[in-house]
Amino acid sequence: MAPPLTLLAAALPLLSYLDAKYYLTYDYTMITAFLSTRIRGLLLERRGQLNPFYGLEKHALSPADCERPFLIYQGQEYSFKKAYELVLKYAAWLRERYNVQKDEIVAIDFTNKPAMLWIWLGLWALGAKPALLNYNLEGDGLVHCIKISTARLMFVDAEIKKVLEGAEGEEARRKLETDGANREIVIFDEATERVVETWKGFRPGDEERNGVKLPDMAMLIYTSGTTGLPKAAVISFQKTHYSSCFASGWLGLKKSDRFYTCMPLYHSSAALLGFIGAMTVGSTLVLGHKFSTKTFWPEVRSSQATMLQYVGEICRYLLAAPPSPDDKNNNVKIAFGNGLRSDIWVRFKERFGIPTVAEFYASTEGTSGSWNIQQGAWGVGAVGRNGSLISLLLGGGVKIAKMDAENEELLRDNNGFCVQCDYDEAGQVLWKLDPNDIGKTFQGYFRNAKASNEKVVRDVFQKGDAYFLTGDLQKRTRDGLWYFIDRIGDTYRWKSENVSTSEVSEVFGLHPGIAEANVYGVALPNHDGRCGCAAIVISPPTSDDEVRRELSKWITKLPRFARPIFVRVVKAPGGLEKTGNYKFVKGKLRDEGADPENVEAVGDVLWWLKDGEYVPFGKRDWDGIVGGKVKL
């Protein structure tokens, strides 16, 4: 009989093969992070310590952690002890100066800076609930977000006080202060900050924070508003805890790590997965004021950040910056975020020497997510990854359902039930809910029952079940990889075929002369469906004519029906319009359509695909389409 060591040596290749094929180690890490998060959440609920304030307090009062850096901002360090002292000062100021009470909602309209965190944590110390406003909002959009929050008190960063100045700003302020809500707006400037720092701090009693349950509201975070006015998503203590604790466990975040983010703190990615995740573990948060290609890497290097957070298209902007001898001069071991396109994924890793990408998929108001730690060449572009163990234990909670392409609704069979997609077939991602207690996992939108109900579908795969509608199309492979396809509504139908704007955008994005591409469908007179239009920004020093001549050959990578009929060359200095979280805005472009008069009015240029070549598109061409003489 062979010795045990010999048998083990012989079995190692087989074990390695099985591990690689079925993701055993990866699944174990995921399941461990998930279970420890669940157990910790239940324990914190039982102890009355779900409020993240206790996470800061724990490290601030620990002799081993109190002097360690909690926050680094523009070169200035704040220890856990110093941060805790400041938070208690802010809590005292908020209570004594503004009479902020437990469970009260207070609006915060701030750019990324330490004072935002002190106000935020000061509110939590009092048991109050922050409503985090998008600092890019102005006018009616800003008024809408504040009013639906019901906040009677609003703190505005002096840096963005222009939102309340000038004709539009004064009108917004008038609407907020004269609607009978007795609302107070406080412009928070450096003088105010100095006053608060002289305040005598106090620790509010535990009774201010006790009694909360996992489904209870911790704060409000607003949706991006790409399809209308933003909605206030209720972020529960459960979501706050699960998101931050699971992500930090999945990433292997340690106290010695320094987590860099310049993503806006008003968004759930930076708020939950960045700030609160780092604070929970006791890591250092390195906070950038705003994203800029000029400050991103210098801040990462000077802070010795070991992890960085990305969202949307910022990786593309970093790649578009001129190469530098210092590109690989960093300590980053993991780039963590969502929205990294597969066309630049490998280039980003290679140029900046980052060994691991941790990509995830989730939504502000959503109830679940998917996760993919990617190294080497396997799994590039995937937003999720799971093996046999996770599929067995958790697979029932996530489904991909077939869609009725014409109506953009779930497809139901003759029995009235939805149909699951096969492997490599795109459909809408659905997350399972408790049909008898929807609010246990999905708290919905604040004071908006109609919008909340629209995100829930019942009797999906069997009578009585319930699922959360993500509104996103994905597909999964037999290898356990999940890929994002498109937002429902962004996909358009042309020539009886469904076209994925994401797929077309990736092909355009690979062209060396194109810096940005935003693809959408436009309606045309006398034509069914919508035809493709790609709004692009051309990279200097490439000329418009160079790109135009090359593009007709370049798009042969796409099926014929997916090749955009129109290309809109955007000339605005800021490039393509984006949300505050770097997502492309399609609505305005879609509304302006392919009418040259609309496009040229803002200084853009329009081409169309004619006889296999892109050529300028003008009024005479448009009149031919309108008059029915030209059929595409």
All residues at 6 or more sequence positions from 114 whose CB lies less than 8 Å from its CB, including other chains:
71, 73, 76, 78, 86, 287
- Give the pLDDT band (50/70/90) at residue 586: confident
Question: Which class is domain 492-627?
Answer: alpha beta
CB atoms within 10 A of CB 215: 16
Fold matches, 28-290 and 492-627: no
Q: Could you tell me the residue ranges of all domains in the chain? A: 28-290, 386-487, 492-627
With a cut of 60, say whether residue 503 has pLDDT above it. Answer: yes
Q: Are 488 and 323 in contact (CB under 8 A)?
A: no
Residues 533, 173: Cα–Cα separation, whole Å? 39
Structure token pair of residue 93:
């100021």
- Interval 194-210: pLDDT, tens: 999 999 999 999 999 99
Q: What pLDDT, on a 0 to 100 scale, did the predictor assign at position 494?
A: 87
For the residues 288-308, what does the mean pLDDT come to? 97
CB atoms within 10 A of CB 109: 26
Amino acid at 590: R
- Interval 436-485: pLDDT, tens: 999 999 999 999 999 999 999 999 999 999 999 999 999 999 999 999 98
- Interval 335-391: pLDDT, tens: 999 999 898 999 999 999 999 999 999 999 999 999 999 999 999 999 999 888 887
- Interval 54-105: pLDDT, tens: 999 999 999 999 999 999 999 999 999 999 999 999 999 999 999 999 999 9
- Interval 591-610: pLDDT, tens: 899 999 999 999 999 999 99
Q: Is 473 helix (H, G, I), strand (E, B) or coil?
A: strand
- Interval 245-283: pLDDT, tens: 999 999 999 999 999 999 999 999 999 999 999 999 999
For the residues 176-182, what does the mean pLDDT come to? 82
The CATH number of domain 28-290 is 3.40.50.980: yes
Residues 454, 444: Cα–Cα separation, whole Å? 10
Share of the chain above pLDDT 90, in %: 75
Q: Is 361 helix (H, G, I), strand (E, B) or coil?
A: strand
Helices (H), 479-632: 501-509, 544-554, 587-592, 596-601, 619-626
pTM recorded for the entire structure:
0.87
* The residue to which tokens 């067995």 are assigned: 392
Question: Which class is domain 386-487?
Answer: mainly beta
Residues 627, 267: Cα–Cα separation, whole Å? 46
Average pLDDT over the chain, rounded to an integer:
92
